[in-house]
Amino acid sequence: MFDLSFDAKIIDTPGIKGFGVVDMDKYELGDYFPEFFKLKQHCKFNDCLHLKEPKCAVKEALQNEEISWSRYKSYLQILEGEEETEHYRTDIWNEEDNE
Ligand SMILES: [Zn+2]
């Protein structure tokens, strides 16, 4: 079902901005992250992007440290390639990333 080598490439590649040009539906992006995919069914919205949506199971798992922030950041970075002007960063990073 999932191409895990592709998945591994996502975390290992610093310059993943290029993924933005790949013709990938942003709503499918989460499906390439197996742990996000599993949680997605628990999100309130079927088309949840796990950004600002309320009752998002992925963000709850992040808060509970059930999934890693580096994975979530990789996800966001790829998503950013598609979305040019979203301001979701500020309320998502919160205390986990104070750099
Ligand atoms: Zn979600």
Q: Are 42 and 56 in contact (CB under 8 A)?
A: no
* Number of residues that this document lists for the chain: 99
89 CA to centre of ligand 1 in angstroms? 15
Determine the Cα–Cα distance for residues 83 and 5; give it in Å rounded to an integer: 25
Of 26 and 33, more confident: 33
29 CA to centre of ligand 1 in angstroms? 12
The whole-model pTM stands at 0.59
14 CA to centre of ligand 1 in angstroms? 24
Dump pLDDT digits (tens) for 43-89: 999 899 999 999 999 999 999 999 999 999 999 888 877 544 444 55
Determine the Cα–Cα distance for residues 86 and 76; give it in Å rounded to an integer: 11
Where along the chain do its domains lie? 4-94
Q: Are 79 and 89 in contact (CB under 8 A)?
A: no
59 CA to centre of ligand 1 in angstroms? 7
Determine the Cα–Cα distance for residues 1 and 5; give it in Å rounded to an integer: 12
Fold of 4-94: Ribonucleotide Reductase Protein R1; domain 1 (1.10.40)
Q: Tokens at residue 30, please?
A: 């989460």
27 CA to centre of ligand 1 in angstroms? 10
